[in-house]
């Protein structure tokens, strides 16, 4: 099985570290800003082909006001639209190398294996987001209201990123 060679735990650790590092760096540069969320988003993979590293955005209250200025969207409309948040982090060389390893792990097993590897890749971001949130709160980088998420187009990763209480509070339409 091609995906057996991939160190999924090391990937999860890398993803978590990326989110923690970027949020921590942002807070150090902008201590006056209230960071309410960070999200991995814009996931892309072509069955049997490429798998790209997603975007990472940091959501702040001031950023919502900035993003909604001059548009027909309110800050609340953009609250869970990380592609519209002003703070977006480009993938690093290490991120791209991980995406290439995941893609390589998916090769050779047919479409079903590729889909399974890609699905596990996506779910790993949701697991890492939970870890990142705990780390950021415990180190007093963010407050208890902070959310760390993986947001795909269908919003299937959001419930995997959050506790049931967080899901009911912020995404009631996704709660069971």
Which of left, alpha, beta for 58 (phi over 0: left; psi -120 to 50: alpha)? beta
Give the β-pairing of 51-52 and 55-60: unpaired
Report the percentage of the chain scoring pLDDT > 70. Answer: 98
Query: Is 129 in contact with 161 (CB distance < 8 Å)?
Result: yes
CA distance 149 to 99: 19
C-alpha 167, offset from chain centre: 16
Which phi and psi angles does 137 have, rounded to 5°?
-70, -45
The pTM for the full model equals 0.93
52 backbone dihedrals φ, ψ, rounded to 5°: -105, 150
Instruction: Name residue, tokens 């893609």.
Output: 103
What is the average per-residue pLDDT within 19-45?
A: 97
For 133-162, the pLDDT digits (tens) are 999 999 999 999 999 999 999 999 999 999
pLDDT value for 176: 86
């Amino acid at each position: 099985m091609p995906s057996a060679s991939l160190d999924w735990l090391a990937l999860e650790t890398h993803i978590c570290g990326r989110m923690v590092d970027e949020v921590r760096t942002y807070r150090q540069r902008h201590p006056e800003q209230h960071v309410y969320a960070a999200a991995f988003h814009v996931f892309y993979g072509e069955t049997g082909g490429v798998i790209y590293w997603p975007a990472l955005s940091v959501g702040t209250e001031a950023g919502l006001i900035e993003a909604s200025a001059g548009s027909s969207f309110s800050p609340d409309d953009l609250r869970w639209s990380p592609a519209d948040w002003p703070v977006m982090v480009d993938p690093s060389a290490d991120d791209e190398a991980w995406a290439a390893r995941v893609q390589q792990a998916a090769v050779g097993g047919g479409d079903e294996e590729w889909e399974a590897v890609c699905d596990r890749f996506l779910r790993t971001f949701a697991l890492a987001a939970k870890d990142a949130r705990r780390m950021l709160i415990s180190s007093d980088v963010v407050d208890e209201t902070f959310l760390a998420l993986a947001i795909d187009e269908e919003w299937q990763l959001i419930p995997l990123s959050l506790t049931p209480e967080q899901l009911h509070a912020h995404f009631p339409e996704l709660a069971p």
